Structure 1
Amino acid sequence: MIPALALPITEPILLFGLVLLLVLIAPLISGRFNLPSIVGLILAGMIFGPHGLGVFTLEAEIRLLGQIGLVYIMFLAGVEIDLQQFFLVRRHSLTFGWLTFLIPLLAGALLAPQVLGIGILPAILLASMFSSHTLIPWPRISALGLTRQRAVVAIVGGTILTDTLALLLLVFLVGAHAGNLTPWFLTRLALSVTVFLVALFGLLPIVNRWFFRHFASDGQVEYLYVLCVVFLSAALAHQAGLEPILGAFFSGLILNRQVPEKSTLMNRIHFIGFALFIPFFLLSVGMVVDVRHFFTGVETLKTTAFMIVVALASKWLAARLAGRIIGWSREEIRVAFGLSVNQAAATLAAVMVGVNTGIFGLEIVAGTIGMIMVTCIVGSLVTERAARSLAAQNVRRSPDRPGQGRILVPLGDRADQLLNLALLLRPSQSRDPLYLLHVIEEGPDLESRVERGERLLEHSVLQATAADIHAMPLTRVTMHVGSGILGTMRDYGIETVVAGLPVDRTPVLYTCSPTVDFLVRNSRTTLLFARVPDGFSKPTRMHWVIPFTLEDHPGFATGVEQMLRLVRQENIPLRVSLPAGDRISLEKRLGGISVQFQAPEPGMRLPLDPAADEWTIFFMVRPSGYGWRPQFERIQKAAVSDFQTPLGLLFLPEPEEAPPIQRNGVSPADYGGVPVSFQLSITDFSDDQLDPAIDHLLAEADLEDEDDQVEDMFLDSCRTAPVILAPGIAFLHAHVDSLAENHVLMGRHPVGFDTFRTLDPVRVVVILLGQQHRSAQEHLTLLAVLARTLSRKEIAARLLGDSGHVQLEEELSQVMYEELSRLAQRRG
């Protein structure tokens, strides 16, 4: 027999099903009338709640779902906030927090006795209800990508301040009314709050790091852990005498650095919250409203109108005044008003306490219901329009350009870690998919390797989809992995490649590996080669190592922008090793990010004792790029073989080759005010052994007593760490005391030397001898220009060919002076 349907609904499964139906339909209907979904859910609660059609009652189930949603909103505000920005705008938070607390408090306390004829104690308690607010429109702020906006960050900080003050004021007022405001009461409250804060901020971060280090691979366990932390923190806050929403917000702040914005875990947090928990809370807010209370008498209407007008006017005045003091734009002021005017959680708590203790009458309850209804609707509408305008301004300030966000991830070992890194690097406004590539070299067992690659791609696509990112899987069968990656980059207009650093390498034949060397020499896009050790979960700090003069590189701004995304996404402190003279311009690029500067290691060495949880990023350039120097080759080798902590090698993007320029009055020997001149000579080697060949070449420079010392140093470099600028061309350099001018010496051999133990015999040896007492900038400038010149394919071909000495010396000198002139123009 089918049971009769009676209202209100009490059968659990039917109750839950109908609530879900409202959560689904209400936003769709409100959207047809151009109303925010938040307003639609509140109105649905009013219509179908106990004071409307009576389908639902405010029993334990609905109250539980509503409390969960409220706690979840405050947790989201904490976990999504930009901590770097939060600390930078803490004064803005204090300014806004105090104004949005004091102005409504003073307005209510001064006007309520005059208008409503109530005593000073009820007036102050009523005024505290005006001061507090709930971030009901937060889901729209999050959906529009404004959680890291400076004004939004300050508003969240101000919300915590004003809600804390309002709730503490409530405790004191109730205690004063009951006569319990004793020293023992205050001491007990202070002790319980102190113990709670110490436990939360002292112990929870340690537990978080341990958990995510050991269980980071299981997404389901991660999300359950986050829920446990949030709701247990909220419960502990309540036991300490605070409101649960404060515990939820604090837990969000503590989990902030463990949950990057573009991670799979954050996507799960958003999905469950926005689909279920938060709509439940909004429905429960609507169910509280009883429109009939507004018409029970003139006094009730008067009280309701007074509370609505004071709440709206005082919150608008506070937002307006704070905006003027801080310097917010018109849209930011409107967002501040829209977020701070909503009355719900703390307001309901205050009015119920006031009624239960006899401080308030029923007309205040009716006025509170009306105030909640009006402020929530007004706040949602204002926030929706202002936030859309603010988001549109942000898009106009940073318009997408073709190829922006096109990131390619060649999959192999540690595919999950590389994919997570690529998700963090992806611009938030990018509409391009994430390109996932598996390259298969031709050979035996091709079909089985293709099948394994498809399984790897399927897993990675699912991982990207879980983070709400569209991924495009690609498979390429080729003779060489590097050429397969390079071909994909060209076919799809890739802007950034995120690949892994190899575990094994052949120390002499390659700088890092055949694939890494091939991509570095044959591409111009950004390359990030990353290594993450086993058992590593998340960095607690990032360390940039930026070599001297690299800020002049045309791709430096792009590299900084991309690495800043990592810093902001991970919400971790930044340390930068950079010469003191280059720091001012970098600080401007950092856009307010807090950074600790330090001097680089001598000789561009790797950090001697990097922290195990610190991620070191070396800014590098290709051998053909501005600012290149031979130490880069050594750093790459040492990074692959010796560095055991998290490491990244970032190769800056190179501009397209500029056409040769004519002399135009800019002195080719002038670079940034430093004279750069050189003598270039080319000779043919007659010896088949490297030792006498180098001795013969050094004789061209007349080194006096330093000849043997320099020769021994060069021979040692040739055998241990040769620098190969191009196939068949080796490069050596040194500072020498006895020189009167910089020397560029080039020696050619028809067959080549095997001493270098490279794949191709070295047929050309290039030596740069710089003056010991000239500036480092001059030497590095000449070194970069020489490397860039010899990396040109046509120049290398001429040098390896049989062109005459005199003509080749003149052509090479002309090309190098043109490069110096171009650098001088860029610098000037």
Structure 2
Amino acid sequence: MIISSIHHLTFPIEDPLLKFFIELLIILLVPLLLNKIKIPHLLGLLVAGAAVGPYGFNLLSRDSSVVVTGTTGLLYIMFLAGLEIDMGDFKKNKWKSITFSIYTFVAPFVLGFAGGYYILHFSLLTSILFAALFSSHTLIVYPMISALGIAKNSAVNITVGGTMITDVLTLLVLAVIVGLSQGDVGAAFWLQLSISMIVFVLVVLLIFPIVARWFFKHVSDKISQYIFVVVMIYLASILAELAGIESIIGAFFAGLALNRLIPHTSSLMNRIEFVGNAIFIPFFLISVGMLIDFSAFIKSWETLGVAAIMLLASIGGKYIAAMLIQKTYRLSKDEGRLVFGMSSASAAATLATVMVGYNIILGQTAEGEPIRLLNEHVLNGSILLILISCTISSFVTMSSAQRIAEEARENTVAGDKLPEAHILLPINKQEMTEKMINLGMLIRTKSNNDQLFALNIISEDNNESSVKNAQKILEAAVKLGAAADVEVQAITRHDNGVVGGINNVIKEKSISDLVIGLDKEKGFSTSFMYNLYNGYLKNEHVNLMIYSSVQPISTIKEYVVLVPPLAYQESGFFEVLLKIWNIARNSASSLRFYTTQHTIQILQRVVKKSAIEASFYTITNWTEVDTVIRELKSNQGLIVLMADRNRFSYRSPVHTITQFLNENRIENNYLLIYPYTENDAGTAEKRAVNNHQDFAEIGKLIQKVFR
């Protein structure tokens, strides 16, 4: 078929295989070529789309296949923005996002209205719609931000939050102007629009998480989970259109709805990002490039004049908004430039608004020509605006984002970060593999390059089948890590005993954290408790965690954390606190602390320096924790800081936790954490965190680690 098509080759190319091959070739070669000359590949894909499109060499037509994949790419960008946004930072910066949305909506709108009404002499309705074109922006550079690892930067969060608000406002203006042009804006119009939007938001933000949590609990197949996510993106987009707003808003809200159910360190998250960045988003950029018609600007000086006003209103307005938000909240210069770079790109909402306005016919001229709400000069000008704004956005974002990323790395290189953690995960059963690896990926600090080790102990008298089983378990562990782009080092060890083998590996690999999986059926058996106190806890400089998992870790919405009195005086208190912070941050879950009032004051000082969502409840007697555990909800997990007999925080009731969990068999995930100890009293005293200066330093460190 391909040979026949080549013999009778006509342009644009119609053969689907050949078309897809050319598009993939563009996606492959453009980044490779442009990376060498420091040009953002996003810009290259736009130019490549223009070159092969109907207004270029006409190799490919912008048919339905290009439109569908391009639309999916656009939805993907908005979905990823909602999915990767840190909800703690988002809530912390919500007023900053609202302030920025006002700046970035009003400044370009005023400039656009002045240009349309007073310079181009458009009608009032046309001028308002013309001005609204410049208030919205598309997060076309978000994949670049994510790749540099600064998606959690406050400037990024402010811009993402502002994008959602400005796009909604722009599309509301579009809906109102369309209604006014058709003469059907009345009380019924406003009532219908308000009700439909409220219903849409409630359905997506309330019902979607319930459905997704049920699905992830009952369906473990990775492919099915990914397809489910894509279905939810499209369903939210369709519901948005039914509500009278654009589909991109639906995709963004879908990301917010699934934010807490797809851990940022999970293999599912890695699949979502990989497919989007490799296929759908590049197709979107190519499809946008195919709209660019350079000849239109040569044919008409009026088009160039309109385009110049559009560029001034859009780019100038976004620059003013970025500088205002920088001055208002004292952002750094690079963060101000980053806000401008991210918000200066116009594509999705701008194109949608222009096309709607262009297709509205208000009447006819004496010559029978249609009078459109937005004329062809505005249409062609918007294409030039998309090209230039995306170019500026790419260059400004790349330069400022790289400087911010380098500064963050410098802050954590010269002694400001913790030593690299070595986390050991002994696994002896196939069904525990995924559970243990998922927890290991949650507790590691990504920016610290913490290492994961999967270990299987084989007794000396075991047969060949045990060796094969060990290989199967460790291969699965390595694959699970690779699926999330995390290296898991597999260790097979022949030893006379499990405890002795684990302790030997701890010494050989300088292990800092040991995670022991608990068999749900056996629980805290006599033999397990013997191994715990006479084996695992003998490793004084190792944090020990005992983990029991009864449901997927992604379905945990909140962790209840029990902290015994005086736990803050433990040598390893800060290290295990950081692990708890990692769990919350990487899984987008919140923390609910139960502890003494003094410990709460200590924890609150640290929380101020991070974006973790945390609430605090006082307990005066450790026996109260029984009630707390019994009242756990199905979407909550339990974390308990434990203590050995010789530690500061030792209280005999603390050790009844294991007996209580054995007797009650709660249907919740739980993690018991024994902070490490140091025999040297002087060292322990130095590490104690009872003064304000120490807490300030801890807070700064947490803030840097999570950047």
TM-score (norm 1): 0.77
Task: Find the aligned partners of 1:532 and 1:822 in 2 and give their Cα distance.
Answer: 32
Change (3 A) 1:521 1:504: farther
Residues 27-426 of structure 1 aligned to structure 2 (within 5 Å) = 27-215=31-219, 217-357=220-360, 358-399=372-413, 404-413=420-429, 414-426=432-444
The alpha carbon displacement at 1:122 in A equals 1.8
Q: Is the 8 A contact 1:502 1:512 kept in 2?
A: no
Task: Find the aligned partners of 2:617 and 2:663 in 1 and give their Cα distance.
Answer: 25
The alpha carbon displacement at 1:534 in A equals 6.0
Task: Find the aligned partners of 2:421 and 2:689 in 1 and give their Cα distance.
Answer: 32
Change (3 A) 1:659 1:507: closer
Q: Which has the higher contact order (CA 8 A, sep 6+)?
A: 2
| Equivalent in the alignment of 2:445 | 427
The alpha carbon displacement at 1:821 in A equals 11
| Equivalent in the alignment of 2:502 | 485
Q: Which deviations, in whole Å up to 9, do the C-alpha atoms of 1:590-609 show, x marking residues without a partner?
A: 22423221123723454321
* 1:597 to 2:610 alignment: no
| Equivalent in the alignment of 2:588 | 571
1:630 counterpart (652, 656, 667)? 652
The SS at the match of 1:542 is: strand
The alpha carbon displacement at 1:503 in A equals 4.1
Change (3 A) 1:378 1:528: same
1:16 counterpart (14, 20, 25)? 20
| Equivalent in the alignment of 1:618 | 640
Change (3 A) 1:825 1:94: closer
The SS at the match of 2:640 is: strand
Q: 1:477 is matched by which residue type in structure 2?
A: H
Q: Is the 8 A contact 2:90 2:158 kept in 1?
A: yes
1:530 counterpart (521, 528, 547)? 547
Change (3 A) 1:821 1:490: closer
Q: 2:197 is matched by which residue type in structure 1?
A: V
Q: 2:496 is matched by which residue type in structure 1?
A: M
* 1:460 to 2:477 alignment: yes
Task: Find the aligned partners of 1:566 and 1:496 in 2 and give their Cα distance.
Answer: 14
| Equivalent in the alignment of 2:701 | none
Q: 1:635 is matched by which residue type in structure 2?
A: I
Q: Is the 8 A contact 1:545 1:600 kept in 2?
A: no
The structure where helix makes up a greater share of residues is: 2
The alpha carbon displacement at 1:509 in A equals 5.3
Task: Find the aligned partners of 1:824 and 1:545 in 2 and give their Cα distance.
Answer: 18
Task: Find the aligned partners of 2:690 and 2:182 in 1 and give their Cα distance.
Answer: 79
The SS at the match of 1:429 is: helix
| Equivalent in the alignment of 1:702 | none
Q: % of aligned pairs identical? A: 32
Change (3 A) 1:419 1:186: same
| Equivalent in the alignment of 2:558 | 541
TM-score (norm 2): 0.90
The SS at the match of 2:256 is: helix
Q: Which deviations, in whole Å up to 9, do the C-alpha atoms of 1:46-65 show, x marking residues without a partner?
A: 11111111111222111111
Q: 2:441 is matched by which residue type in structure 1?
A: L
Task: Find the aligned partners of 1:824 and 1:376 in 2 and give their Cα distance.
Answer: 49
The alpha carbon displacement at 1:433 in A equals 4.1
Residues 561-710 of structure 1 aligned to structure 2 (within 5 Å) = 561-590=578-607, 591-600=610-619, 602-604=621-623, 606-608=625-627, 609=630, 610-644=632-666, 645-655=668-678, 657-658=679-680
Task: Find the aligned partners of 1:381 and 1:158 in 2 and give their Cα distance.
Answer: 21
Q: 1:232 is matched by which residue type in structure 2?
A: L
| Equivalent in the alignment of 2:11 | 7
The alpha carbon displacement at 1:537 in A equals 6.2
Q: 1:94 is matched by which residue type in structure 2?
A: I
| Gap regions ≥5 residues in structure 1 | 662-818
Q: Which moved more, 1:128-137 or 1:45-54?
A: 45-54
Q: 2:537 is matched by which residue type in structure 1?
A: V
Task: Find the aligned partners of 1:536 and 1:425 in 2 and give their Cα distance.
Answer: 12
Task: Find the aligned partners of 2:524 and 2:439 in 1 and give their Cα distance.
Answer: 27
Q: Which deviations, in whole Å up to 9, do the C-alpha atoms of 1:739-760 show, x marking residues without a partner?
A: xxxxxxxxxxxxxxxxxxxxxx
Q: Is the 8 A contact 1:574 1:596 kept in 2?
A: yes
The alpha carbon displacement at 1:319 in A equals 0.9
The alpha carbon displacement at 1:110 in A equals 2.0
Task: Find the aligned partners of 2:109 and 2:525 in 1 and give their Cα distance.
Answer: 74
Q: Which deviations, in whole Å up to 9, do the C-alpha atoms of 1:299-333 show, x marking residues without a partner?
A: 22221122112211110110110121123221211
| Gap regions ≥5 residues in structure 2 | 361-371, 695-707
Give RMSD over aligned pairs: 2.4
Q: Which deviations, in whole Å up to 9, do the C-alpha atoms of 1:212-251 show, x marking residues without a partner?
A: 1111x21011001001111111012112211000111111
Change (3 A) 1:552 1:482: same
Q: Which deviations, in whole Å up to 9, do the C-alpha atoms of 1:472-498 show, x marking residues without a partner?
A: 110111122122112112211222222
Q: Is the 8 A contact 1:503 1:640 kept in 2?
A: no
Change (3 A) 1:516 1:374: farther
Q: Is the 8 A contact 1:49 1:287 kept in 2?
A: yes
